[in-house]
Amino acid sequence: MLPESDNPREACGVFGVFSPGDDVARLTFYGLYALQHRGQESAGIATSNGEDFSLRTGMGLVAQVFDEEDLAYLKGHIAIGHTRYSTAGGSLACNAQPIVVHDLETGDPIALAHNGNLTNVDVLREDLEAQGIVFESTADSEVIAHLFAIAPGRTYEERFHYVMRRIEGAYSVVMMTKDRLFAMRDPMGVRPLCLGRLDGGWVVASESCALEHLGVPMEREVQPGEVIVIDEHGPASFYPVAPARKRAICTFEYTYFARPDSRIGGQLIYPAREEMGATLAREHPVEADIVIGVPDSATPAAIGYARASGIPYREGLVKNRYVGRTFIQPDQRIREAGVSLKFNALSDVLAGKRVVLVDDSIVRGTTTPRVIQLLRRAGAKEVHMRITTPPIVSPCFLGVDMATKAELIAANHSIEEIRQHIGADSLGFLSLEGLNRATGQNPEDLCNACFTGIYPLNVQMQMERLEAERGREPALAAAESLHRAGRP
């Protein structure tokens, strides 16, 4: 990613369609295009014509992976698609989804795409390998696929019961057999998933914005613990396991991940973010001349802050929307340009002004100082930082790449120390109560583990693995550097 971002890395986007007579590959392409914000590392589409599967996956953005020739190849009336950011498993071509495995008894293909993260993946993988399963990727999504492929039971409900009793963590899944489309959401409902109705079929997607882009009315959200199966008779619903006593919808879906035009838990994201900004203005007022947001996710919150404070909202930062993934190595001058490649500050707007700068989070504290320096170079007299989440003190193990506890600046420094580090004149974080209230959800139904350290399930195994992996990274980087230098 150029330049390197300090934001929490998005989860993944999944999409599925059952619609005889429609160009399902094209529908899936545009559905994934609308979900591109959820992952920019790889993309893939699998289709079924009732007998055979077709599959195309590749590294890069959706528009880079597929062309007209690919869509012509992907024939059928069922399709599932995926756009990925890696959380479990690296950014490798073998981890691009959908993943295709074969049913243990019938040999029929099964395709699966997954948004989330399993917390017991190591135990499951070891067990499957002991049974002779050979994995072709390092992603936990393949574990789910193989579990279904070997699952005992005469009915789909019995087989999903087996799978959902064994896997733990966050998962919103679309799955396809030769003649059926499935949508499955974990019992806590950590990641979003919704159902829409076409004239001649049905669509499932991570977010409702993907449905609206296709002109598909949203029917409803897939409920926590629910599996929906769709065939020529339409959708049928069942609950292989009981929904969890505690729901755990990820709060970051409301603050950052989801597009502002999506609905989650019945709440449109845009006004929720506006309310976060308004609450932030009430909790952390300051005398200033203008309010600006770090585009794009913080823009609604900045507008909300301006409205509640009476301070004018202005656009002081312009985002280069074409700075995304690149496989071209930057030279030293480009590296030093850093955040200015992604943002340009408007000096005519900022010069001599006391500025309130609104953003959605501070994770490691690497990008925010650069943004503030950019504003000061453009002539800002004062910069008052306001954050629409509480301080992040714990890593996430449910589908968000957020760094280890040792890397989280708020886990190791006071707010005053963070203020000094980022170079702001003042710093204010939204309270947990204010954030929960702005989402419009029952606080008991939200996962706020990254702010509180209180997880909705046991994550000790994942925590130990993350620390071990982070500990190996310096050694791996050194080895790679030596390899490039031609040394053994």
pLDDT tens sequence across 367-393: 999 999 999 999 999 999 999 999 999
pLDDT tens sequence across 284-297: 999 999 999 999 88
Q: Which of 414, 459, 420, 463 is nearest to 190 (CA)?
A: 459
User: Domains of the chain: which residue ranges?
Assistant: 13-245, 273-440
Is the pLDDT reported for residue 85 higher than 70? yes
Report the SS3 class of residue 276. Answer: helix
Task: Write down the CATH number for the domain with range 13-245.
Answer: 3.60.20.10
| 121-130: average pLDDT | 96
Task: Write down the CATH number for the domain with range 273-440.
Answer: 3.40.50.2020
pLDDT tens sequence across 302-322: 999 999 999 999 999 998 876
Is the pLDDT reported for residue 225 higher than 80? yes
Of all residues in the chain, the percent with pLDDT exceeding 70 is 86
12 part of the active site: yes
Q: What is the pLDDT of residue 89?
A: 46
Per DSSP, helices labelled H in 338-400 are 347-350, 368-377
Spatial separation of the C-alpha atoms in residues 187 and 199, rounded to whole Å = 30
Neighbour tally for 458: CB within 10 Å: 12
- pTM more than 0.85: yes
Phi, psi of 41 (to 5 degrees): -90, -40
Distance in Å from the first CA to the final CA of the chain: 29
Spatial separation of the C-alpha atoms in residues 83 and 92, rounded to whole Å = 13
Task: Return the minimum-mean-pLDDT range out of 137-146, 173-182, 271-280, 282-291.
Answer: 137-146
Give the chain's length: 488
What is the Cβ-side half-sphere exposure of residue 440, based on CA atoms within 13 angstroms?
16
Catalytically annotated residue among 12, 194, 250, 447: 12
Tell me the sheet residues that pair with 172. 115, 185
Determine the Cα angle at 356 with ends 354 and 359, to 5°.
150
Is the pLDDT reported for residue 146 higher than 60? yes
Spatial separation of the C-alpha atoms in residues 413 and 363, rounded to whole Å = 12
pLDDT tens sequence across 34-56: 999 998 889 999 999 999 999 99
